[in-house]
Amino acid sequence: MRFIYLDCSLKELSGHHYNFCKRIIGMAEEAGLPVTVLANNSLPADLADEMKVNIVPYFRFSAYSVLRETVRDSLRATETVRRRMLEELRGISGIGQDDIVYVNSVLPSQLLAVTEWVSEMGEKAPTIVAEVFYKTYIDFNESTYEENGRDFSDQVWLYVGDILPSPENMNFRLISFNSRVSNIYSRILHQPVFTLTDPLRVLAAPKNRAGKKKITIGLGGHQRHAKGYHHLEGIIHSFLRERDWDHVCFRIHNSRPDQAQDIQRSLHQLAAADNRIEILEGSCSGEEWNAFIDSLDIVLCPYEPGAYKGSWSGLACEGFSSGAPVVVPNSSASAEFLLNYNASFEGFDDWTVPSIFEALKKVVDHYDEYASRNYEAASAFYENEKGANIVKEIIEKFK
C-alpha cells in the first residue's frame, strides 16, 4: 500500500498547500506508507529537496486558474481545466488498487475530473479521498430552500452539485476538516462529505501566555481581500490612537506582497514611523512558519464573515492550539470550532475596522484572562488531538 498525494496547486513553499503537504506526508510516513507526491509543474526543486520524498512536478493548472470575473469565463476555464486535469490523471500509471490516493483541496474542475477518472477505473480504482475546499458564499434559505450564491464560483459549485453522479456511483470519498464545512458541501454537492481531523490542528503543545509583558498581535499567510487585509491599515491606525498600548506590537506577514502592493506600501510607511509594527514578506519554510505562529500572542483573523462561514481558517486553528487567543468573525466555521473546544476567543459581527478593532481591544484589555482560559482549552485540545493522523483515519474509515 502506498500513499499518493495529488495537489495541482502545490507550487510554492508557503500557504496551506505547502503546509498540508508537509504535514500529511509526514503522517503517511508515520503510518508506515511510502509516499509519492504529484504537484504543480512549476514547483521549485528545493521543496522536493526539503521534503525528502518523491515529488513529481506534474499538473499544468492550479485549482485557482478557474476563478474569473464572468459566468462565461468561469465556465470556460472550469471546462478547460477539467479536461486538462483528466488528461493528466489518465496519464498516471502504476497506481494499484491497494494504494490510497489523496487529492488535496479540490475545486469544481478537479472534482469533476477526479469523478470521471474514478468512474473510468471502475472496480480497479484505489481508495480515493478528495478534500473539498475554498470559500463559498452560498446561503441556504431554510424556508424556500433556495440556494443563493453570490459570485460565479458559487454558481459553478452549485452546477457541479447538480451534475455529480449519485453517491453510490461515486467510488471515492469527499472530506473536509470541519463539520460545518462538511455540512455545507454536503448540501451543495448532494453527497456525503465526511469530517476528518485537520492535519494542521496541533503543531506543538500550547504555551501559557498570561502575564506576558509584551503582547504581539499578528496575522500571516497569503493575504487576500476576503482575509480583510485591506482593513489592516485602519486597524493599525486605531491601534496607534490607543493610549497605554506601549506593550502591544504587530507582526504582519504576507507571503505574496506582490499581489497587494498598495496595502504593503501603506503598511511599510506605518512600520517606518513606529517600531512596534513589523512587516514580514515572502515565503517561509515550515520551521519559520511554526516560529512565526509561536511568536504571536493574539492571532488576528479579520476575515469576511460571509466568505468564512463555510471555510475554515488554518491560522485560527494553529493560533488557538499554540495557546494564543484568536479574533475571528462570529458566524464563521472557525468561531464554531473554537466554541466547540471552549477556546477563549473574541468575535466580530460586522466586517468593519471599528467592529474588528473593538473585538481586538477586548482581548488586549483583558489579555491575561483570555490567555489563561485559552491555555486550558488548548491544553485539553492538545492532549486529545496530538496523536491525530488523518492517513490512519483514512485507512480505518475508508479502506
Partner 1 sequence: MRSVFINKEGAENQSTIFRQSNAHFPDIERFQAIIDDGNSQADLINKGFLRSDFSGDSAALSQALTHTLLWSSVLSEQKPLMIMEDNALLCQNFVEQRQKILGQLNDDWDIILFGYDFDASCVINAIPGVSPCGFYFDFNQMRKAAYTWHSRSVEANAYPLLQASGLYCYAVSPRGARLLLEACIPLRSLSNQPFSLDKQMSAVYPKIKAFAAFPPLAISGNDNSTMSFFKEKNNSRPAVSI
Contacts of 366 by beta carbon, 8 Å cutoff, 6+ apart: none
The footprint of partner 1 (CB under 8 A) covers 145, 166-171, 173, 179, 183, 186-187, 190-194, 397-398
Nearer to partner 1, 133 or 382 (CB): 133
- 3-state helix vs strand vs coil in the chain, percent to 5: 50, 15, 35
CB of 168 to partner 1, least distance (A): 5
How many CB atoms within 10 Å of residue 342? 13
How many CB atoms within 10 Å of residue 140? 13
Q: Nearest CA to 324 among 232, 203, 243?
A: 203
Asked whether the CA dihedral 354, 334, 158, 259 is positive or negative, the reply is positive
Nearer to partner 1, 185 or 381 (CB): 185
In the chain, alpha helices (H): 15-30, 45-51, 71-90, 108-121, 152-163, 179-189, 232-241, 261-273, 286-295, 305-308, 314-321, 333-340, 353-365, 367-385, 390-398
Nearer to partner 1, 61 or 137 (CB): 137
Q: What b/e string do you get for 50-72 counting C-beta neighbours within 10 Å, with b at 16 or more?
A: bbebebebbbebbbebbbbeeee
* 105 sits in which H/E element: strand 100-106
DSSP codes of every residue in 55-89: EEEEESS-GGGG--SSHHHHHHHHHHHHHHHHHHH
CB of 397 to partner 1, least distance (A): 6
Amino acid at 233: E
CB of 374 to partner 1, least distance (A): 26
3-state secondary structure of 249: strand
CB of 354 to partner 1, least distance (A): 34
CB of 388 to partner 1, least distance (A): 16
Nearer to partner 1, 179 or 197 (CB): 179
Nearer to partner 1, 169 or 269 (CB): 169
301-314-12 Cα angle (round to 5)? 110
Nearer to partner 1, 191 or 334 (CB): 191
Q: Rounded to whole angstroms, how far apart are CA atoms 358 and 143?
A: 34
3-state secondary structure of 318: helix
Would you say 125 and 95 are in contact if contact means Cβ atoms under 8 Å apart?
no
CB of 183 to partner 1, least distance (A): 4
For residue 36, count CB atoms less than 10 angstroms from its CB and return exposed for 0-12, middle for 13-18, buried for 19 or more.
buried
CB of 160 to partner 1, least distance (A): 14
Nearer to partner 1, 171 or 266 (CB): 171
CB of 161 to partner 1, least distance (A): 8
Would you say 31 and 391 are in contact if contact means Cβ atoms under 8 Å apart?
yes
Nearer to partner 1, 167 or 234 (CB): 167
Cell numbers 455545507 correspond to 184
CB of 328 to partner 1, least distance (A): 21
Nearer to partner 1, 64 or 140 (CB): 140
CB of 179 to partner 1, least distance (A): 7
Q: Rounded to whole angstroms, how far apart are CA atoms 364 and 276?
A: 15
Nearer to partner 1, 184 or 328 (CB): 184
